[in-house]
Chain A
């Protein structure tokens, strides 16, 4: 889809650095933005920042991905206020604590509710709106962690894997109505999620990933690994036979 002046996008999880830099990329192209996040003061700051830098309309919204009952009102108000949406970029996510999730169902549930159910709830609402309009784009930020279950983060991984499958099905459905669905699978990104955990040289800046996300939309991509080399790394990882993989400590 071509991205340009006058389009209006909803960004969910706007306080994530990847989301903020994606907002910059969209604002540079003249798009109006609704920036939604959990903390009122933080989304307010992000909205002011985007507006001051690029002069586009940028408004803050608060929501909680786990508060499913509040989602219909959020999307309805957004649509009635703006008239329509040209798309949504979903960034929110919860890494959680794998060790804790092995003993506490509450922890596991929180991870799944944010990453999967929260996304299902919100994206379904936006999908129905876009389907009716017969245009637009849905971008879901999943993860390479969703490509294969690993002992160190399979609760998070499985919630992202479920999100990837959900986006795949949604793409299949919405292809009939000219709505683009992009599954973004970042590798390591230099944010709070990886700081102090991953020291790999492969860690990418959130700016780089943001540029990749918007370019993928413009190029009409379906599934995209960011940075690109993760496509090859994950190809190899997916090819390892399960009987070998289960013994690996990855």
Chain B
């Protein structure tokens, strides 16, 4: 199989690194790459930082391993290859009345990439993360052997792989349960919050009554307005809620692709001024109301613009997503938001969500509040801000999401993910040569 020398980056376009990229067509092809080692697995490259990069090493683009292999129309149990995208799952199964059990904020990720990050969605408070819905995985190990793992068989491998950032083996196939839907619409409700306390109260109040919830915070608002924003809620609409004429075709696939950013501008067009505009228009377009909306706009508002990450200019951007335990949440949130408001680095997008229970060794979520912030410019003072935020998060007993990270230090990682030793022991057992690695893995001490 041939390799192509390519400059790669994650969705944040920072860092950018060169590697030898292979694109296998079959598992047999992938097997050829194992003896060479120094291998990083890559799906659709939607992780933000360096999780699917391998400076000067080998990268396997696994998007061509994308076949559906089994589906049980009674239970919704689906088996597919790891390179199938969530967009394809929706396209094939929404018309038949099935939906993803958990979905991230973009549908352009692979099933394997989503499991490797153990992704969470707006329903984490009642559905936990994706791994809860995965029954088993077929993994191609560094030895060339293919094994099936689940909660019952090789549970150590199962839990080291879900959230394991592609470092235990190739997720060749995954079996997971889809959820039944009567319509592809959501009953949507938007509620305004005046300040942080009101925001937290609103989430507490509505979470038990809605499948999905997430809040948007105006990242420029400080002082008594700190934490003001809008809470977005949604539940799958039952058939009876649709207007009569829509009931005849209640399950349309509603993917829109309107525009695309073809080339990054020389500088970021996301700056304090445009962020202010963005926040104002956001408040305006998300007026308090209730409505029926299509799933695509509800779950994937950003997928409508192709390659929107280029708007941040050639310097790239970073999303800082952290979570802190419930008891420390309010205080940490205030300090984190104030830290950002006071710094000169405006965050273009601040998202808040309350997580529920979570299993796993390296899975990100924990019961508590998670906050995600997008930052445009990359510069030394900005990196100092990120480091200060990481420190604050670590001290609160919280952690930073690896799928979005490009900066975390090894020491802070170990403090944030206390089960890392257990994970490393499993890594030793299943990949003793350290064949699977990545720039992130080296940074965090997860692989040689």
List A residues at the B interface (Cβ < 8 Å).
15, 17, 39, 42, 45-46, 48-49, 52-53, 191-192, 195-197
B3 in the interface (beta carbon within 8 A): yes
- Given A195-B2, A195-B23, A196-B2, verify A53-B64 contact (CB < 8 Å): no
Query: Within the assembled complex, what's the spacing in Å between the Cα atoms of A140 and B71?
Result: 33
Q: Chain B contacts of A192 at CB under 8 A? A: 1, 23, 25
8 pairs of A and B residues whose beta carbons are closest in the complex:
A196-B2, A49-B67, A52-B68, A196-B4, A45-B67, A49-B68, A52-B71, A48-B69
Q: Chain A contacts of B4 at CB under 8 A? A: 195-196
Mask for B18-62, Cβ within 8 A of A = 1, else 0? 000001011010000000000000000000000000000000000
Q: Chain B contacts of A49 at CB under 8 A? A: 67-69
Cβ-defined contact, A48 with B26, below 8 A: no
Query: Within the assembled complex, what's the spacing in Å between the Cα atoms of A52 and B69?
Result: 7
Cβ-defined contact, B2 with A52, below 8 A: no
Pick the contact of B67: A46, A191, A196, A197 (CB < 8 A): A46
Q: Chain A contacts of B92 at CB under 8 A? A: 52-53
- Chain A-chain B contacts (Cβ-Cβ < 8 Å), number: 36
Pick the contact of B64: A17, A46, A48, A197 (CB < 8 A): A17
Cβ-defined contact, B23 with A48, below 8 A: no
B70 in the interface (beta carbon within 8 A): yes
Cross-chain pairs A/B with CB under 8 angstroms, 30 sampled = A15-B25, A15-B26, A17-B25, A17-B64, A39-B26, A39-B28, A45-B67, A45-B69, A45-B81, A48-B68, A48-B69, A48-B70, A49-B67, A49-B68, A49-B69, A52-B68, A52-B69, A52-B70, A52-B71, A52-B92, A53-B68, A53-B92, A191-B25, A192-B23, A192-B25, A195-B2, A195-B23, A196-B3, A196-B4, A197-B2
Q: Chain B contacts of A196 at CB under 8 A? A: 2-4
B323 to chain A, nearest CB (A): 36
Q: How many residues of B contact A (CB 8 A)?
A: 16
Cβ-defined contact, B67 with A48, below 8 A: yes
Q: Chain A contacts of B26 at CB under 8 A? A: 15, 39, 42
Query: Within the assembled complex, what's the spacing in Å between the Cα atoms of A48 and B70?
Result: 7
Query: Within the assembled complex, what's the spacing in Å between the Cα atoms of A148 and B387?
Result: 61
A147 to chain B, nearest CB (A): 25
Q: Chain A contacts of B1 at CB under 8 A? A: 192
Query: Within the assembled complex, what's the spacing in Å between the Cα atoms of A49 and B4?
Result: 29
Query: Within the assembled complex, what's the spacing in Å between the Cα atoms of A15 and B2?
Result: 18
Q: Chain A contacts of B25 at CB under 8 A? A: 15, 17, 191-192
Q: Chain A contacts of B2 at CB under 8 A? A: 195-197
B89 to chain A, nearest CB (A): 11
- Which residue on chain A has the smallest CB distance to residue B65? A45
Query: Within the assembled complex, what's the spacing in Å between the Cα atoms of A45 and B79?
Result: 11
Q: Chain A contacts of B23 at CB under 8 A? A: 192, 195
Q: Chain B contacts of A53 at CB under 8 A? A: 68, 92
Q: Chain A contacts of B67 at CB under 8 A? A: 45-46, 48-49
A208 to chain B, nearest CB (A): 16
Q: Chain A contacts of B71 at CB under 8 A? A: 52
Q: Chain B contacts of A45 at CB under 8 A? A: 67, 69, 81
Q: Which of A42, A191, A195 has the most CB of B within 10 A?
A: A195
Other 13 A-B pairs with CB < 8 A, given A49-B67, A52-B70, A53-B68: A15-B25, A15-B26, A42-B26, A45-B81, A48-B69, A49-B69, A52-B68, A52-B71, A53-B92, A192-B1, A192-B23, A192-B25, A196-B4
Q: Chain B contacts of A46 at CB under 8 A? A: 67
- Which residue on chain B has the smallest CB distance to residue A20? B67
A246 to chain B, nearest CB (A): 29
B8 to chain A, nearest CB (A): 15
- Which residue on chain A has the smallest CB distance to residue B64? A17
Query: Within the assembled complex, what's the spacing in Å between the Cα atoms of A45 and B82?
Result: 13
Query: Within the assembled complex, what's the spacing in Å between the Cα atoms of A196 and B1?
Result: 9
Query: Within the assembled complex, what's the spacing in Å between the Cα atoms of A49 and B88?
Result: 12
A47 to chain B, nearest CB (A): 10
